[in-house]
Amino acid sequence: MTAGYKELKVRAWRFTKKFDGRPGFGLGDARAYLSAVIDLFVAGQGLKYTEALSEALDYAEKLLEKSGKDGVVKDYYRVYEDWLRLDRSKLSTRLLDVEPVRQQPSGDSSGLTVVSLFTGAYGLDLGFELEGFEVTVALDISRDSYLNLKANRPKIPFLLGDIAQFKTSDILKEAGLRPGEVDVVTGGPPCQPFSPAGKRQSLRDPRAAPLMDFIRVIKEARPKVFVMEEVPGILSARIKHVPIRERGKRPLLPEEEPGSAWRVVLQELKKTGYRVAWRVLNAADYGTPQVR
């Protein structure tokens, strides 16, 4: 990405963030408004995307300063009507001035190391790699994950199997590191026990065991930082679910309350001795065209 584009994305984030939590016109509506204004500049003036983004931000920020949030909301409906009448063919050639993702590491290393657990498609680790981190070892139970990494990053050692089968010392040996030498441990333990798309058996689900193994590796490897990714459903998951027809009118027990599973996980994470900070992130706020 060009420096100009990065700066514009920060401005766009600051603009839309002002509407976060506003009843009737929230952050998502502000993003849609800004996107529509960009399209109007692209179609109306033939601008490239970055140029149109700059013009759209100038327009939206001045309107916000002059007329406030209500003025932006009012203008949204006018912009939307104009957007509906746009000649879509003029948007099909819309160009975005960004640097393509590198297919191989640039060689510009920061000297910082990553131990990748639950590597999957390597998406989380790719972000670290592009910032100069060195992924020293990868681990996953999926053969597809193994084949993917070996095809794209053949030099990275890969441990194929259940994390429970590997001692932390074995993982560090493959990485060529000792406890305390790891800079970052990354991982996204299986989400099925906590996902609304599944049965949500929470910590009683055997698939939740890898999460505890992730915590075990953190305790023993002693990285400077760890990054764990999970689905938002973990925040509302219960340790134990009892159907209403069985529970009757009695109050919920502590382990039956929504969020009881996350409280246990958070407690275990804090027992590692690390300062734990968590939040729900929306990929749409970071340039991904999906709400996830």
| pLDDT, mean of residues 165-182 | 97
Distance in angstroms (rounded) separating the CA atoms of residues 282 and 35: 17
H or E segment to which residue 158 belongs: strand 158-160
Q: Write the secondary structure of 51-83 as one string of H (helix), E (strand) and C (coil).
A: HHHHHHHHHHHHHHHHHHHHHHHHHHHHHHHHH
Q: Give pLDDT, residue 175.
A: 97
What is the reported pTM?
A: 0.62
Distance in angstroms (rounded) separating the CA atoms of residues 75 and 86: 17
**253 DSSP assignment:** P
Range with lowest mean pLDDT among 2-6, 42-46, 62-66, 83-87: 2-6
Say whether pLDDT at 64 is over 60.
yes
Say whether pLDDT at 126 is over 90.
yes
Alpha-carbon Rg for the chain, nearest whole angstrom, is 23
pLDDT-based confidence at residue 200 (cuts at 50, 70, 90): very low
Question: Could you tell me the domains of the chain?
Answer: 3-90 (no CATH), 113-286 (3.40.50.150)
Look up tokens 């100069």; give the residue. Answer: 132
Q: What mean pLDDT is reported for the chain?
A: 85
Query: Which one, of 283, 251, 172, lies nearest residue 218 by Cα?
Result: 172
Sheet holding 113-117, edge to edge: 158-160, 134-140, 113-117, 184-187, 225-228
Helix, strand, coil percentages, rounded to 5, for the chain? 50, 10, 40
Residues that are catalytic: 191
Distance in angstroms (rounded) separating the CA atoms of residues 21 and 243: 33
